């Protein structure tokens, strides 16, 4: 089996927003839509020990996605490899999935009148390529791969380092793992 997942190494992220730009370009998003913002906390600390924490966000491609259960038309769906995506033709734009997502990973595409989201660049991934945000990340802060493959980078990172997942208490079982660096945030 394949289970796609992502690791965010916040120790390496410098907050350059390249992933945001690459995603928007590749997916040809309208100007008001961002699938993967990079949040910045700080500067924190006291000079000279000052630092900033950057936290890239993205759809968590949860194992128990709230959005898929909320969808009244079956447009929101999850494939066997874990990728959660929206079938445009079936979406009526009721926004129930947007309201149900704790990660703000879903957005309204006002040009099409449908809910839209990151789909881990599934067309690229299934050709064996990386998602665009991962490919563009020159700091290698985003690591993508198959969690079920014991030799993949994501699998080795998740199984060897302490990682955290966002809002894990909501029982969505998110599949994006954060390696927390200095100062940390959760």
Reference 7, options 146, 170, 185; nearest CA is: 146
Contact pick of 73, 138, 159, 173 for other proteins (by CB under 8 A): 73
CA–CA dist 117, 9 (Å, integer): 22
Supply the minimum distance, in Å, between the C-beta of residue 53 and other proteins: 8
Q: Where does residue 185 rank: exposed (0-12), middle (13-18), buried (19+ CB within 10 A)?
A: middle
CB of 95 or CB of 138, closer to other proteins:
95
Q: Rounded to the nearest whole angstrom, what is the least distance from the CB of residue 163 to other proteins in the complex?
A: 16
Which residue in the set 5, 6, 86, 115 belongs to the binding site for other proteins (CB under 8 A)? 115
For residue 51, state whether it binds other proteins (rule: CB under 8 A): no
φ/ψ (deg, to 5) at 49: -95, 70
The contact mask relative to other proteins for 124-163 (x = CB under 8 A, - = no) is ----------------------------------------
| 3-state DSSP assignment of residue 90 | helix
Candidates 27, 37, 81, 164; binder of other proteins (CB under 8 A) is 37
How would you class 150 by CB atoms within 10 Å of its CB: exposed for 0-12, middle for 13-18, buried for 19 or more?
exposed
92 vs 161, which CB is nearer to other proteins?
A: 92
Q: Applying CB under 8 A, which of residues 101, 133, 154, 176 lies at the interface with other proteins? A: 101
**Closest to 57 (Cα-Cα) out of 121, 142, 168:** 142
Q: Does 181 bind other proteins (CB under 8 A)?
A: no
Binding flag, residue 50, other proteins (CB under 8 A): no
d(CA 33, CA 25): 11
Size of the site for other proteins (CB under 8 A): 46
Q: Is 110 in the site for other proteins (CB under 8 A)?
A: yes
Size of the chain in residues: 186
CA distance 107 to 84: 14
Could you list the residues that contact other proteins (CB under 8 A)?
Answer: 31-32, 37-42, 53, 55, 57, 66, 69-75, 90-96, 98-104, 108-110, 112-115, 166-167, 170-172, 185
């Amino acid at each position: 089996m394949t289970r796609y997942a992502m690791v965010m190494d916040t120790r390496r992220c410098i907050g350059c927003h390249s992933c945001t730009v690459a995603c928007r370009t590749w997916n040809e998003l309208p100007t008001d839509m961002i699938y993967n913002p990079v949040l910045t906390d700080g500067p924190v600390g006291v000079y000279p020990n000052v630092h900033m924490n950057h936290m890239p966000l993205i759809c968590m491609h949860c194992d128990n996605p709230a959005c898929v259960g909320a969808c009244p038309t079956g447009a929101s769906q999850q494939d066997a490899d874990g990728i959660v995506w929206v079938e445009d033709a079936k979406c009526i734009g009721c926004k129930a999935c947007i309201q149900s997502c704790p990660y703000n990973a879903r957005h309204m595409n006002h040009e099409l009148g449908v809910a839209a989201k990151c789909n881990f660049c599934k067309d690229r991934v299934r050709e064996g390529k990386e998602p665009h945000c991962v490919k563009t990340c020159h700091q290698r802060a985003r690591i993508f791969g198959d969690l079920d493959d014991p030799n993949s980078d994501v699998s080795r990172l998740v199984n060897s380092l302490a990682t955290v997942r966002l809002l894990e208490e909501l029982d969505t079982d998110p599949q994006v793992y954060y390696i927390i660096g200095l100062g940390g945030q959760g």
